[in-house]
Amino acid sequence: MKFDGHGPDLRFWTQRMSFLSAEFERGFEARCGYPPGGNQVVLAYEAPGGSRLLADLGRATELVDFYAVVREVSLPDLGNGIFVHSAREVLAGLRGAMPTLLGGATEDSIIVFGSDGGGALFALSTSGRGVYRLRGGAVLAGTYDADQAEVATVAPDLRRFLDTVLAEVEGRVVE
């Protein structure tokens, strides 16, 4: 499924994630013995302009559409933590702060858009190969150099990656 920036799928995902992240935090300290770390979905209207920057660069439309609605996602208490960075961070990555190429066993052009709490990066293939989880490789001159064990395809596209995150949060919340 493709996001159109305002379609019902993305709206549903955003509303559901916002509700579930709040529910996830309710009673978290009683369950886990420490306070929650600010699990939330921040909407784009709370910090506008990021998706326009990516669109100006002509980058992956599914990310541009996503950032038209969502600024960032922070789920530090979900497993190891899952973070979808802001469009401004993604743009900084495209300008050299993050790798933009995969080298080694998998070669591809990528856009890093997220991370987990264990140091892995989430990157969208610009050639349509899906969402990668990058763990343990070396970054050399903008290229994430990794063997096959360090690169895993975790979803066929951004939509299904986000659906997986939603399902994980749903599994943790008892309504």
Residue 5's pLDDT band (boundaries 50, 70, 90)?
A: very low
Q: Is residue 165 part of a domain?
A: yes
Question: The CATH number of the domain where 159 resides is what?
Answer: 3.40.1580
How many domains is the chain partitioned into structurally? 1
pTM: 0.89
| Whether residue 4 has pLDDT greater than 50 | no
- Segment 98-115 shows an average pLDDT of 93
- Segment 130-159 shows an average pLDDT of 90
The whole domain housing 36 covers 8-172
> At 40, which helix (H) or strand (E)?
strand 40-43
Q: Is residue 52 part of a domain?
A: yes
Q: Is residue 91 part of a domain?
A: yes
| Whether residue 136 has pLDDT greater than 70 | yes
Q: Is 32 exposed, middle or buried (0-12, 13-18, 19+ CB in 10 A)?
A: exposed
Provide the 3-class DSSP secondary structure of residue 162. Answer: helix
What value does the mean pLDDT of the chain take? Answer: 87
Q: Is residue 1 part of a domain?
A: no
Measured CA distances, 142 to 22, 93, 112 (Å): 37, 9, 11
